[in-house]
Structure 1
Amino acid sequence: MRIVTLSLALLLALQSSARAADDALVQRGAYLAKLGDCVACHSAPRGKPFAGGLSMATPLGRIYTTNITPDPGTGIGRYTEEDFARALREGVARDGHNLYPAMPYPSYAKVNDDDVKALYAFFMKGVAPVQQVNRESDIPWPLNMRWPLKLWNMVFLDKGVYQDKATKDVAWNRGAYLVQGLGHCGSCHTSRGFAFQEKALDESGVAYLTGAALDGWFASNLTGEHNVGLGRWSEVDLVAFLKTGANSHASAFGSMTGVINNSTQAMTDIDIAAMTTYLKSLPAVGSAGALRYSYDGQATRALLTRPASDAGARIYAEYCMHCHGADGRGFAPMLAPLAGNPNVMERDASSLINVTLNGASDLVIDGIPSPYPMPEYAPVLNDRQIADVLTFVRAGWNNRSPAVSADEVAKLRKSTQAIQ
């Protein structure tokens, strides 16, 4: 009898230990899914988490993200771990069809086996199944055929997990692994070539993280470039931005708001520091001009002259000055500065036009929404007025950036309102 009792106790202990190990693996997978910001792309507005349906623009037409809940009929409930790994790292679904490279599998190819296992555990056991059929793309035939993607993968997919560089320390390698892999920062911040391929997948390529136009926004330069990159940001500045979405240089908007809300604010201090170490090591690429930015108060003096000296200045004084200040320095981190802001100085004005037209969604840090989100001015100001005020801002305080035309504003107004 004692032997039976001991055997039962041992069995229960083993089962408890196995459950604890499974729970730990699921929890680790949940954290890794946050690192990858999976929920942002695989959840539609007002939709259920990971059920897909988010519209994404591509050069060929709109596609819609897929259901990655463990529902066996419409999601990935029947995927084996091998199926999951293949989809994640090679862009091939369980039934053999190729995924569009809007899914950042060229980045996820670098994710190691242990992390893939944890992610699989999370999506199978930590996500609620949702029965929601995937929506077909709007890409017309024959451009919607998938077989050419096999050729695309042969040319552009670099298989193989991330390998530590012996010449770099632990923090740098961890940061590189996160930025290049699960963080897939290059998917937005690296320009793409004729076949929609990222022009570089790591720091060995000159185009890597130098900024790129994407779906009505311009994802900013993340290299050490002084004017439009991170050259003037300290490591403390970058940590603050990744944790809260704002610092003394800029505030997050557009799709970066979702990255802050769903991903980077949840990262451990060690991982945030590692990403910062890696990003701050990148050399300056994509110079916005030979002159390094330094503040000049001439625009402030013009604003304080009554009446203001030009149409853009008058609009700024009426609609912008109470938040961003007569001196353009804002009230960081609550209200973004415009003087010396990398997004203001960027040659491509898409982000500046877009956020002025459509505003910014709330940054939600530790469950608390930001008190002063950027409002939308599309219903208030016409194309000429927005062009004038942005031209004033881009020229003011020594920003020295090109003027914005009413045609640029009209084009972005039309394209972004079609999405909404």
Structure 2
Amino acid sequence: MKYSLLMLLGITLFSSAASAESDLTLIKKGEYLAVAADCTACHTASSAQPFAGGKVIASPVGEIIATNITPSATDGIGHYSEQQFSAALRKGIRADGANLYPAMPYTAYATLTDDDIHALYAYFMSGVQAVDKATATTQLPFPLNIRFSMKFWNALFLKPAGYTADTSQSASWNRGRYLAEGAAHCSTCHTPRGFLMQEKQDQALTGAQVGPWYAPDITANPLSGIGQWSREELVTYLRTGRLVGKAQAAGSMAEAITHSFQHLTRQDLNDIAEYIESVPGNPTATTGQSRFEQGHPGNALATFRGKPFSAPVDDEGARLYSGNCASCHGINGQGTADGFYPSLFHNSATAESNPSNLIATILFGVERNTAEGDVFMPPFGDQPNALNHMNDNQVAALSNFILRMYGDAAQTVTAQQVAVIRQGGPTSPLVMLAQIGVGAGALVIVAVMIVLWYRRKRKTA
């Protein structure tokens, strides 16, 4: 009898230990998926309070405030059932039935399998510290603030939940596609959007504006995309955020490198690269020069050497470059030998047909943290009281000098373009239509009030 009790106790303890280990494995799997999905980039305003929300995200329709997704029962998602959690991730529907805006990339997360949703739920409910902190409410202009309208948007553009493997492709390709289209949501940034802010699926990954930054073409097209990159080069870029003589991650891509891609396994990065390499891109871009090959070194000092400092304004860009940029990027724009400070020629930021990234880099700087070291370039436009603060005209002058000396000389930057990027990027036409709608609605209300007043006046006359 005593032996049986001891045996039963041993079995119970073993089962409990096995269950605890299974739960821990599930939570770790969910944590990895949360890293792959880069939840931190949007939902963490302070590193001291991971996933507590409050971060303001610039969008073409207005500022969107990320919510608290910690397991707080009062301010987060602690009261969500797994089914409600799944509906939020894959259908964009909150626990209270209200619709989310697709700034939360549920259109990509719809790809996630039931097993991965289960693991993510386990992580956010058991592996994340609850933070009882309310966030401000997103306030978009009328009628964009009517969340009910998203039901019609979802009916038009939301794909069915789950992932269907392409049996004609390898297992690694399918894994890469699952990650790129799902958790990593590459298309959310790199695919241009239509009038209703839907992704143009026939132009997948061919480049799009994301707030003040431009997410470039990452298809296999050798000229407009990254078709000249080897798979190893793409993996290196995803791990480090830089590829010497070609590209450096800044803005939202730097965040993705810092918080997400560098932490993925080498195999998953290889699989993502294998899939990205297979996306054909724009077939019409067959002639010209790749943005990674454009530009050449040029002596900045030579443009105004021997002239007084009060030289004509045409030389202001050269003076700004000499005083603020040459110490790191070199007087010839060559950067440093180790590539830590990149060259300004053979650089995607200075040769892209859209100059947003050059402007945004000057305005907001660069900050990237990876295993190989931290990268920092100071901002020159978002510190009004700083000695090195530049106004819109100065940023335009510096941008045009850099383009003329080292990049695509055919591009011209105006102060108006700088002002748009400084304010968070271009605004969607939907906002203007909404404003027109509000104005028209106000006129209708005024007209109705006048008619009612006139009728009442006639009755009392």
Work out whether the TM-score is over 0.5.
Answer: yes
In the alignment, does 2:98 pair up with 1:93?
no
In the alignment, does 2:83 pair up with 1:82?
yes
Could you tell me how far 1:49 is from its partner in structure 2? 0.6
Identity of aligned residues (%): 38
Does the 8 Å CA contact 1:302/1:308 hold for their aligned counterparts?
Answer: no
Aligned mates of 1:156, 1:230 — CA distance in 2: 28
2:441 alignment partner in structure 1: none
Does the 8 Å CA contact 1:228/1:345 hold for their aligned counterparts?
Answer: no
In the alignment, does 2:17 pair up with 1:53?
no
2:442 alignment partner in structure 1: none
Match of 2:404 among 367, 390, 395: 395
- TM-score scaled by length of structure 2: 0.82
1:37 alignment partner in structure 2: 38
Does the 8 Å CA contact 1:346/1:401 hold for their aligned counterparts?
Answer: no
In the alignment, does 2:340 pair up with 1:334?
yes
In the alignment, does 2:257 pair up with 1:260?
yes
Q: How does 1:228-377 map to 2 (within 5 A)?
A: 228-248=224-244, 249-285=246-282, 290-293=287-290, 294=293, 297=296, 300=298, 304=302, 307=305, 311=315, 312-331=317-336, 333-361=339-367, 363-366=368-371, 368-370=373-375, 373-377=376-380
Cα gap change, 1:398 to 1:138, in 2 (>3 Å): closer
Aligned mates of 1:63, 1:284 — CA distance in 2: 30
2:437 alignment partner in structure 1: none
Aligned mates of 1:264, 1:58 — CA distance in 2: 23
Does the 8 Å CA contact 1:111/1:181 hold for their aligned counterparts?
Answer: yes
Could you tell me how far 1:149 is from its partner in structure 2? 0.8
Report the AA paired with residue 305 of structure 2: P
Could you tell me how far 1:137 is from its partner in structure 2? 1.2
Report the AA paired with residue 374 of structure 1: M
SS class of match (1:181): helix
Report the AA paired with residue 417 of structure 2: E
1:406 alignment partner in structure 2: 415
Q: Which runs of 5 or more structure 2 residues have no equivalent in the other structure?
A: 308-313, 382-387, 426-461
RCO higher in structure (CA 8 A, sep ≥6)? 2
Q: How does 1:117-128 map to 2 (within 5 A)?
A: 117-128=118-129
Could you tell me how far 1:401 is from its partner in structure 2? 4.1
Task: Encode CA deviations 1:83-114: one digit per residue, 9 max, x unaligned.
Answer: 11111101111111111111101100001111
RMSD: 2.4
1:151 alignment partner in structure 2: 152
User: Greater shift after overlay, 265-274 or 348-357?
Assistant: 348-357
- TM-score scaled by length of structure 1: 0.90
Aligned mates of 1:391, 1:227 — CA distance in 2: 23
Report the AA paired with residue 30 of structure 1: E
Does the 8 Å CA contact 1:226/1:232 hold for their aligned counterparts?
Answer: yes
* Count of residues in Structure 1 that have an aligned counterpart in Structure 2: 407
SS class of match (1:111): coil
Q: Which runs of 5 or more structure 1 residues have no equivalent in the other structure?
A: none
SS class of match (2:151): helix
Task: Encode CA deviations 1:313-363: one digit per residue, 9 max, x unaligned.
Answer: 4433443233223443423541122212222222221121111012112x2
Aligned mates of 2:329, 2:20 — CA distance in 1: 53
2:453 alignment partner in structure 1: none
Cα gap change, 1:396 to 1:26, in 2 (>3 Å): same
Aligned mates of 1:140, 1:15 — CA distance in 2: 53
Aligned mates of 2:134, 2:303 — CA distance in 1: 60
User: Greater shift after overlay, 142-151 or 278-287?
Assistant: 278-287
Could you tell me how far 1:82 is from its partner in structure 2? 1.2
Aligned mates of 1:139, 1:355 — CA distance in 2: 27
Cα gap change, 1:352 to 1:273, in 2 (>3 Å): same
Could you tell me how far 1:410 is from its partner in structure 2? 3.1
SS class of match (1:178): helix
Q: How does 1:204-243 map to 2 (within 5 A)?
A: 205=202, 207-243=203-239
2:175 alignment partner in structure 1: 174
Cα gap change, 1:316 to 1:290, in 2 (>3 Å): farther
Cα gap change, 1:391 to 1:232, in 2 (>3 Å): farther
In the alignment, does 2:379 pair up with 1:386?
no
SS class of match (1:243): helix
Could you tell me how far 1:397 is from its partner in structure 2? 4.3
Larger Rg: 2
1:4 alignment partner in structure 2: 5
Task: Encode CA deviations 1:185-236: one digit per residue, 9 max, x unaligned.
Answer: 1111111111111112xxxx2x111111121111121113445531332222
Aligned mates of 1:400, 1:225 — CA distance in 2: 23
Task: Encode CA deviations 1:114-145: one digit per residue, 9 max, x unaligned.
Answer: 11111111001000011112321122444312
1:185 alignment partner in structure 2: 186
Aligned mates of 2:366, 2:407 — CA distance in 1: 25
Cα gap change, 1:333 to 1:278, in 2 (>3 Å): farther
Aligned mates of 2:94, 2:294 — CA distance in 1: 52
Could you tell me how far 1:286 is from its partner in structure 2? 8.1
SS class of match (1:369): strand
2:132 alignment partner in structure 1: 131
Report the AA paired with residue 371 of structure 2: D
Does the 8 Å CA contact 2:58/2:424 hold for their aligned counterparts?
Answer: no
